Chains A and B, each alone.
Chain A
Amino acid sequence: IVLTQSPGTLSLSPGERATLSCRASQSVSHNYLAWYQQKAGQTPRLLVYDTSSRVTGIPDRFSGSGSGTDFTLTISRLEPEDFAVYYCQQYGRSTTTFGPGTKVDIK
């Protein structure tokens, strides 16, 4: 399964809403889709799994949604620490893939 993320870069101001898209080349079974955040110089951090389940400790301004081939990560109000690159990942198969990432930067 090939994942496509859009936009490539999202330029927003703190307090604004961010909507990140992840589209799969074929239906993702069981909606097995995760989202990771990677800040510069850091390792990726798991935010959301199973499309919409937030990892313990992740703020509720992060929410995931979608089904089939179209998935979305929404950050309701951007905080300064949210400016980073976000990757989606499909799983639940004998191989797994990541999307190319969306960079959320400060406008």
Chain B
Amino acid sequence: EVELVESGGGLVQPGRSLRLSCVGSGFIFEDYAMHWVRQAPGKGLEWVSGISWNSGSIGYAESVRGRVTISRDNAKNSLYLEMNSLRGEDTALYYCVKDVKSGYDVRFYYMDGWGKGTSVTVSS
């Protein structure tokens, strides 16, 4: 069974940085593309970023492009999201999510495994 456990969230001041982490188990982590999807309080799902199995393909939503960096360490079954210049609108629950494919074709697909999320609150 796919298990994804996020960490690193918290309360942070506007303009500061934060690094989210996710550890995956129950599947061959290095075989799949991975994503960060966020959900602001009471709002819908927003795709933030995705990374292919070998980090060769990376995508970002326009809302975060230039402020966040996604990365992964397959040896540690881990996914990361470095977030800089944080704003109030970045306040959300951040989910680590597994793609159904590897991203070998420079494309992302649908998602079949979700972590419980880590909460990020940006406020002074």
Contacts and interface: CB of A to CB of B under 8 A. Distances in A.
Interface of A: 32, 34, 36, 38, 43-44, 46, 49, 55, 85, 87, 89, 91-101
Contact of A43 (B47, B106, B108, B117): B117
A98 B45 contact: yes
Residue of B50, B114, B115 with most partner-chain A CB within 10 A: B114
Contacts of B37: 98
A96 B33 CA distance: 13
Given A43-B114, A44-B114, A91 B45 contact: no
A93 B107 CA distance: 5
A43 B59 contact: no
Contacts of A38: 45
B96 to A, nearest CB: 10
Interface in B62-108: 95, 100, 106-108
B61 interface: yes
Contacts, number: 64
Contacts of B61: 95, 97
A97 to B, nearest CB: 6
B47 A96 contact: yes
Nearest to A46: B112
Contacts of B108: 91-96
A91 B57 contact: no
